[in-house]
Amino acid sequence: MVNFTFLKNIKLKFIKGIFAEDCHFGVLLFTLSKNIYIFPKQIYIYRLRESSSMNFTRKKWVIHPDSHLKKIDIFENSNETRLYYETTSWMQIALEFIKFIHSKHHLSDEVKQHFLPVVCNKALTLQKFDKDPLYLKKYAKNLKIYIQNQPLGAVSRVKEYLSYKIAKEISRKKSIMKLTLAFSVVKVSVQHQKEVRRYKKDIKRDILNKRLPL
């Protein structure tokens, strides 16, 4: 149970129309609470509707004609629309967390250290989209400072190294599949070069896209 007078006083609301809205709400609710009681028994059953955005059991995701997601359904691919929806949701959560840490609350540093890097890492996937109907991509440059040289950001960047990609490809090849290893390595190398060229173009377009050294 939540004291709604308390929620009104701290002006905490769910972010409207996003995925994983309980992440932002829950983190800030616990952060701003003075007293928390954990009920020892489960008193409700958690269910997922078949068409729920939280339902990950289906391979193909279909957007209902009356869904609020129709306004961003411009990708001609429902799975890509879903990924865009999730990514922009993380972006909005990240921006709210940043707003909170600037409030100088005594737990601001904890939110910045433990939660913000995870959320920012997810939100930065937005950079991969060419289309941005919600116009949130412009905020990506504001998030990078929160994951640079932190464990989560560092791990993600190491995975972008060509040596890592080749080693991963080699580890995947078992028995007879090793015969295709040379072709796979060439394919990985070509794709890596494309990503490098794209990264250089991003830097030319905006110097803030340049990453700090690890």
Q: pTM for this structure? A: 0.65
Phi and psi angles of residue 159, each rounded to the nearest 5 degrees, phi first:
-65, -15
User: Do both 112 and 123 map to the same domain?
Assistant: yes
Tokens standing for residue 71: 């306004």
User: Do both 125 and 178 map to the same domain?
Assistant: no
Choose the final residue of a domain: 124, 148, 172. 148
User: Do both 131 and 209 map to the same domain?
Assistant: no
Mean pLDDT, the chain, as a whole number?
81
State residue 94's pLDDT score: 96
pLDDT digits (tens, 9 = 90+) for 72-113: 888 888 888 888 999 999 999 999 999 999 998 999 999 998
Amino acid at 44: Y
Residue 36's contacts (CB-CB under 8 Å, 6 or more residues apart) are 30
Tell me which residue range forms the domain holding 133: 4-148
67, pLDDT greater than 80: no
Whether 153 and 121 have beta carbons less than 8 Å apart is answered as yes
Query: What confidence category does residue 119 fall into, taking pLDDT thresholds of 50, 70 and 90?
Result: very high
Please state, in angstroms and rounded to a whole number, the distance separating the CA atoms of residues 191 and 10: 49
User: Do both 30 and 55 map to the same domain?
Assistant: yes
User: Do both 86 and 189 map to the same domain?
Assistant: no
Q: How confident is the model over 110-135, as a mean pLDDT?
A: 90
How many other β-carbons are positioned within 10 Å of the β-carbon of residue 64? 9
Whether 88 and 126 have beta carbons less than 8 Å apart is answered as yes
Please state, in angstroms and rounded to a whole number, the distance separating the CA atoms of residues 77 and 60: 10
3-class secondary structure per residue, 136-169: CHHHHHHHHHHCCCCHHHHHHHHCCCHHHHHHHH
User: Do both 62 and 96 map to the same domain?
Assistant: yes
State the total domains in the chain. 2
User: Do both 126 and 191 map to the same domain?
Assistant: no
198, pLDDT greater than 90: no
Q: Which of 61-70, 85-94, 147-156, 169-178 has the highest mean pLDDT?
A: 85-94
User: Do both 141 and 167 map to the same domain?
Assistant: no
